[in-house]
């Protein structure tokens, strides 16, 4: 099992660094391009959410764990918890007049990785994105 971690300020300016970290770790783990992109997109969306909607402050941690054939990328934040099961629905087939602004980030997260886990306690929230190699 290998683990890499990065800590970044909880600001939107950190998104590019988060994407670069995921891209680098995904390549080192031997993920194919499509899976790596999906993981990077999902983590970017997740980080943007906790910063913009969760009021995350101070720092975010991003952990990348490779355990056999499974890759688990975890975002740790200290903002308001948000259970992925409460995400708004998105109808990607709706015509433009009916398309709203909300929910697309979560839609990308769920559609881009193989599984998502969420846990929260009084100190921090952890969203784990899981893909198979």
**Site residues, other proteins (CB under 8 A):** 12-13, 15-16, 19, 37, 41, 44-45, 48, 51-52, 91-97, 99, 101, 104-105, 107-108, 111-112
2 forms beta bridges with 66
CB 32 to other proteins: min, Å? 14
Given a contact cutoff of 8 angstroms between Cβ atoms, the answer to whether 126 and 76 are in contact is yes
β-sheet with 2-9: strand ranges across:
2-9, 59-67, 70-77, 125-132, 115-120
The tokens for 94 are 């709706």
Between residues 35 and 65, which has the closer beta carbon with respect to other proteins? 35
Residue entry with tokens 């709203």: 100
Between residues 107 and 118, which has the closer beta carbon with respect to other proteins? 107
CB 43 to other proteins: min, Å? 10
Given a contact cutoff of 8 angstroms between Cβ atoms, the answer to whether 74 and 42 are in contact is no
Between residues 3 and 12, which has the closer beta carbon with respect to other proteins? 12
Between residues 43 and 76, which has the closer beta carbon with respect to other proteins? 43
CB 68 to other proteins: min, Å? 27
CB 130 to other proteins: min, Å? 19
- Alpha helix segments (H runs only) across the chain: 15-28, 33-52, 104-112
């Amino acid at each position: 099992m290998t683990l890499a971690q990065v800590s970044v300020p909880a600001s939107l300016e950190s998104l590019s660094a988060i994407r670069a970290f995921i891209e680098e770790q995904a390549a080192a783990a031997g993920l194919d391009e499509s899976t790596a992109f999906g993981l990077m997109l999902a983590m970017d969306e997740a980080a943007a959410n906790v910063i913009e909607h969760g009021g995350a402050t101070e720092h975010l941690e991003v952990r990348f764990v490779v355990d056999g054939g499974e890759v688990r990328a975890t975002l740790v934040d200290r903002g308001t918890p948000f259970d992925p099961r409460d995400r708004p629905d998105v109808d990607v087939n709706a015509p433009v007049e009916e398309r709203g602004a909300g929910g697309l980030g979560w839609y990308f997260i769920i559609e881009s990785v193989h599984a998502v886990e969420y846990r929260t306690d009084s100190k921090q929230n952890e969203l784990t994105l899981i893909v198979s190699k």
